Structure 1
Amino acid sequence: MMNKLKTLVVAIASAFFVFGGMTVVSQSAHADTPRYDMIDVSNHNGAMSADEFRYMRDNYGVKAVTTKISEGTTFSDWTAAGNIKAAIDAGLYVNGYSYIHATTVAGAIAEADYAASVAQQAGLPVGAVLAVDVENADQMAMGRAMQPVVQAFMNEVQRVGGYRSTTYTMGSHLEVSVDGDPSWIASYPYTPTSEQSWYSTEHAWQWTSKATFASSLGVFDVSQLYDDFFTAGQDASNNVTPPVEDDNTTDTVSLNGVYVIDSWKIYGSGWYARNDDMSIPVADYNNDIPVQSVTLTDRYGNALSNQVAQGNNGAMEYFTLNDNYKVLNRVGSSIQIEMNGESVWLKVAYVK
């Protein structure tokens, strides 16, 4: 990560998984970035409007929107229906994705049935893409053995919903994607440029998770498309030169308490702290606190001389967050702030 505020050494017995190569702070648009062909959105971006999507279309050449539909067999994204309608009203192609937890064929089929049902209720058109999002550490550890699970999900959403499908995963673990099936790959270069065109044999390359737009609050995932898979067979070429965004946001908050680390999470190559009271569902890298922002303390808030995390070994751990954090978005009882160059959603009741 760039702009690390603190360095916390974390002992880990298992191997790290590299998610997306290197991550970066929020990307300001300029003529030399990869193309802004597609954005993906979820509840972390809040309810999007047609005007926001039109701005992205007209100023950046965005052609497609892929919205989160579901996770597992119980979570449906409350913004999906509105995002789909808004994107269609803005003249953009719409698609969806489901974050799966399954590691078995039977589990994948159950999650696919749920995803297809939620997608239909949200208004995702027949023939749109309903991608399978594979990024959990246990799935990555399966390697090629994950391919039948992925294939089962894709087959099932086609069978029950009429949706096309592909795999979304990280560049370091292409082997979980079905052999011979182009995928949607996340990999974030330190300095993204128009000449890179990483993973050009795939359907799409997600080259940043930190793009900003003057029309909208927060940060967005952006992908460059290499074919017409996400645009329903229509040309995905993009000759728009985006404007430079001037981010003048001055809204900041602080978190001055002493908090318990209920669990440590690993997403890709990064460690994250989770406090079950402060963090919002669902547990993922958008809702947990990057380790670089954490100061380990005793129960009274005094910083420990040893800043090595215990890693879920049963010991009670405490931490503080003593900086001022930039506000990216406010939605209901949740707030999106920037911590260590990353977007983090927390319960608004815990910030000042």
Structure 2
Amino acid sequence: MKVYVANFGRQNYEWPACRERGTVATMNAIDAQKYWEANDREGYVATRMAKDTTAAGKKPTKATASRWFNLMTTVAETVGDIWVHKDGDELWWTTSRSDAPTFESKKEPIERGRDVVICHKFCEPWSNRSKKGVPLRWNELHPKAKDFLSTEATLQSLSPLYRDYTLALIAGDDLSQWHDTPLWQNRSETTKKGYAPIKYGSQADKIAYQRASELFEEADAAERMARTAVATTNSANGQTVERVVKKKDLGFPSAAALQDYIMELMGSQEYFCELTNLPLELDEVNGDPAMFASLDRIDSNGHYAPGNLQVVCRFANFWKGASENAEFRRLIEALRSSVNI
């Protein structure tokens, strides 16, 4: 069983129909649907990158468009999975059924007004109460739970830890085994400091400013001292490796220009790691450093320049190192397939 946190169309326009009919749903533009029906991922990705935009109004990256291709498959094939949706101060949930999905044409009732094909998959009646009858109110949830029980993307599959918590929440069970851990207690303490996954443009702007400033400050130091080395220890053999960033390596005229570019990247990626599809997080006290947003060069031998950058989770950047980008993606996909995530 999987647990999905989902929205239903841009601005959630299909949510009222889902709640009334007892379904979960996703949609494709009509010109994209034919590629999905033919299982033509490459054709789908190419047309979405050329013709579509993310909710932030940015052209999608290849990884984002590929994730979109998977959405209709996930919805059409879901059986026995839990689906969660935040609506104002209410948390709703349902369980998908084995009934065959339906496919319907519709004109989107929002500003962009695309002609789309909507896939509806039947589920049990939506509920905003636990199985013990307790109302599920957003403002009563633990701050850590709020981090993963809402998403700006179309849908997100929860990790086993968060899945188990959500199932216990829905069952009305005792949640102290999570709430009493240091990580969850620290999250309560840092609620007022703004730590959270990156979901909004204002948060992304903060990260973009930090990363751009770091690179340009490092480059300035390199110019002043002729050589600024950032030493890292190779845990395998104890060797010290030096990395030097000089202004000639930066394909941007200023930190502000790089900041704007990083903002564009995160919007294009819908605030997900480009390599792993995991949510990016702000780097705040008591956050998860492995998940912090990190600027990565696609070609490690290239410069920090337009077309050679992607935003990834810090651990993915560390693991990738100087590896070929395509090879690292292949290994991530192999890992994902082996554990069915």
Q: Compute the TM-score of the two structures, normalised by the length of structure 2.
A: 0.26
Larger relative contact order (C-alpha < 8 A, sep ≥ 6)? 1
Structure with max Cα Rg = 2
Higher helix share: 2
Higher strand share: 1
